[in-house]
Chain A
Amino acid sequence: MKRLEIKDIEKCVGCGLCMFACSRKFASHPEIGNSSSAILPVSLSGFERGATVIFCKACSEPPCAQVCPTGALKPKKGGGVVYIERLCIGCKYCVEACTLNAIFEREDGKIAVCIHCGYCVNYCPHGVLEYREVKT
């Protein structure tokens, strides 16, 4: 299956185009902004020290799904999770459970998590991200 991966983090310039792309990913209802973004580039306390890009690594045993009280997050075959928005009560247990801080709070109180669609890769101008086949 295909996954979003980091190809070369040293080339990240912190432009955030991936974050804004993530908001636009659904063709029928693209958003402007970052509320629903499930990917976040951050500096290492100043971009002169470099950057890191935070997103779901598609765990095979996702702790976020384990703590979800309503079944809104379900483990996906091959790793990662499926998010069923209507079941989400906004408790944020998943946010706490993720060691990578890769589950984000939306402005409406619900959450955003990467679905590994690869849309953001098209807008990474410096080849930091890639969308590639991985063995599961």
Chain B
Amino acid sequence: MRDSVLIIDLNDYTYEIQSRPDLFEKWIGGTGVAVQLLREHMDPKADPLGEENVIVFATGPFTPAYPLASKTVAMFKSPLTGNLGESHAGGRTATSIANAGYGAIVIKGASEKPVYLVIENEKVHFRDGRVLWGIEDSLIVGRIIAENESGRGIRTMMRIGGAGEKLVRYACVTTETYRHFGRLGLGAVFGSKRIKALIVRGRGKFLPSDPKRFREIYDEIYRTAIASDAMKKYHLLGTAENVIPLNELNSLPTRNLTSAKFEKAEEISGEALAEHNLGRRIACSHCPIACIHLAALRIPYENEPYFYKTIMVSYDYELIYALGSMLGVGSREGLLRLIHRVECYGLDAMSTGVCLAWATEALKRGILTRDHTIVELSFGDVDGYLKAIDYIYEQPNEFYRNLAMGVDHASDVYGGKDFALSFGGNEMPGYHTGHAAHIGFATGLRHSHLDSAGYSLDQKVTELTPQEAVDRLVAEECWRQVLSSLVVCFFARGVYKVDLISRAFEPLGVEVTEDDLVRTGEEIYREKLKLKLEMGFKPEDMRIPGRIFEIQSLRGKLDEDFIREAMNYYVRKVREMI
């Protein structure tokens, strides 16, 4: 198994490579290994924007052996929540890191001057990043580096835009232009360490211990992925397919969740985008599905006839929710322009949308004034939002400096807490399906919809007690620790079932039973929970935004007692688990 860990120290521009079979044998890879490396290298009380914060990138044992093992886990202390930060990205990150020979990369310290790093097999180059610093458009940064560095086709290029440099707490790290370590502010951590970009290029080989069986299992996974229905949804319309069903189920958060139904949902649906705008589909490395959908948006120049620019914009369900329905934006052109602006600065789309939705309602209610927002914000007004996104990056006044720290912080300062839609400091994802979704946001260790998929539980099971809901969500999250340690795409969870995973390990020379896997998932969950508690997580203090109880969902109006009971039970369960 690949067990090399590359440790880079930006304080003195040194690096070393350690062999850590102990880590990878016990904790698989990805999330499992990242938790341990973060614990080894970082004080849990570290300042997220101080040099003592540490970034871990970890890949898993199936990369690049099998298809769909196409993701990398990033773990760090989040400047948005002040707690555990973990985000996952696709693109070419995983295969490049693996082909360069590494199971994980640890980045410590902070550079005095801006740098960009180039990592290859057994070597790290610290490149002068001063000229690139200040270029706010992450697309341009990517293009400049692409011209300067070798490794076309076998490299990953992670970088930040202006938002990361300006330490917007929900800045993301963009990779291969259209994939992101999106949530919880890795971009700001890059900015605080003065890393503008991180390139990894890899050319390497590994040998299976059972060649014949390896090719057979590969073919089985490949055939399942392309021939069955397991991934059909992602293959065709992509995640944007969810817009219409969720709207019909009364679950699409709209106008800062003053409604869960959006009258213009059809306009910004996956179907409409495919019909009118879909320009190209692309894939993460080693994934046959190609779920990345790029819209081609043709924009005319005012006052200059026959001059157009055509921009390509990557869209997904979460962006359509956050910058579409949540802001009352029902025009596709407007939505795509907003996504593009967020992409340029390198902001997390979900957090940006939720922050702006809160600001819009707060302005309407008189909690904020135009002195704060500078520009008029009203639901559906794209131009106002485009300007406000510029201001989140530029931070021209105290209000935008506060808004750049997240909706939880901004509502601490100005009020409007009841309709500040965040859980554990992380802005809410786009699912108002029922109790399980919100309990999932509150209890999920990343406060992300993908932690435990409560939205799916709401749709599948109607009768659940608060305790059952928590148990089911935690069980799902435990299992997902296995997937994110392997690290296979969550969209491939229908392909990578427990028996297949166990069999897929065999030709790689690793014996793991199905029971081992399930148990390891639970252990990784506990380790992550422990680290989160050491960082100051207090589940008993979890704030549940009052707004979610006011609006009809798929499961009707939500019951505050139900969620309170679930949270009390969860607090007890946490105590038992550690």
Contact = CB atoms under 8 A, between A and B. Distances in A.
B282 A24 contact: no
B205 A23 contact: yes
Nearest to B98: A33
B299 interface: no
A13 B290 contact: yes
A28 B211 contact: yes
A14 B206 CA distance: 22
Nearest to A36: B205
B121 A107 contact: yes
Given A15-B288, A40-B154, A45-B143, A32 B64 contact: yes
A42 B282 CA distance: 12
A135 interface: no
Contact of A34 (B67, B142, B204, B226): B204
Given A123-B222, A125-B226, A13 B281 contact: yes
Contacts of B208: 30, 32
Interface in A2-56: 13-17, 19-20, 23-24, 27-36, 40-43, 45-48, 50, 54
A52 B288 CA distance: 17
A36 B99 CA distance: 12
Contact of B203 (A16, A17, A107, A125): A107
B531 interface: no
Looking at chain A's contact residues, the main secondary structure is loop
A15 B147 CA distance: 21
Contacts of A36: 205
B281 A27 contact: no
Contacts of B378: none
B157 to A, nearest CB: 10
A41 B287 contact: no
Contacts of A126: 288, 290
Interface stretch (B212-220, B351-359, B398-406): B212-220
A34 B67 CA distance: 14
A107 B205 contact: yes
B547 interface: no
Interface string B397-420: 000000000000000000000000
Contacts of A13: 281-283, 290, 292
A17 B214 CA distance: 16
Nearest to B294: A48
Interface string A109-129: 000000000000001011000
Contacts of A24: 214-215, 218
A49 B207 CA distance: 35
Given A41-B153, A48-B294, A30 B67 contact: no
A35 B154 contact: no
B115 interface: no
B222 A16 contact: no
B286 interface: yes
A69 B285 CA distance: 36
A20 B279 CA distance: 27
B146 A45 contact: yes
Contacts of A23: 205
B509 to A, nearest CB: 11
Contact of B206 (A31, A42, A48, A54): A31
B285 A15 contact: yes
B218 A34 contact: no
A20 B204 contact: no
Given A13-B290, A24-B218, A32-B64, A107 B146 contact: no
B179 to A, nearest CB: 11
Contact of B282 (A20, A29, A47, A123): A47
Interface in A89-134: 105-107, 123, 125-126
Contacts of B214: 24, 30, 32
Nearest to B290: A13
Interface string B39-81: 0000000000000000000000000110100000000000000
A20 B285 CA distance: 10
Interface in A71-105: 105
A81 B208 CA distance: 29
Given A33-B206, A34-B99, A41-B153, A16 B211 contact: no
Centre residue among B98, B143, B177, B288 by max chain A CB count within 10 A: B288
Given A20-B64, A20-B286, A48-B280, A33 B215 contact: no
Contacts of B65: 32
B254 interface: no
Contacts of B121: 107
A48 B312 contact: yes
Contacts of A20: 64, 67, 286
Q: Which of A13, A29, A32, A107 has the most CB of B within 10 A?
A: A32
Interface string B268-291: 000000000001111111111010
B256 interface: no
Nearest to B121: A107
A33 B99 contact: yes
Contacts of B146: 45-46
A31 B211 CA distance: 8
A45 B204 CA distance: 23
A17 B286 contact: yes
B138 to A, nearest CB: 12
Nearest to B152: A42
B83 interface: no
Interface string B142-184: 1100110000111000000000000000000000111000000
Given A14-B282, A30-B211, A40-B154, A125 B204 contact: no
B95 interface: yes
B204 A27 contact: no
11 contacts: A14-B282, A14-B283, A15-B283, A20-B67, A32-B205, A33-B64, A33-B98, A40-B154, A41-B153, A50-B280, A107-B121
Given A19-B153, A47-B282, 5 more contacts: A13-B282, A35-B205, A46-B177, A48-B294, A48-B312
Interface of A: 13-17, 19-20, 23-24, 27-36, 40-43, 45-48, 50, 54, 105-107, 123, 125-126
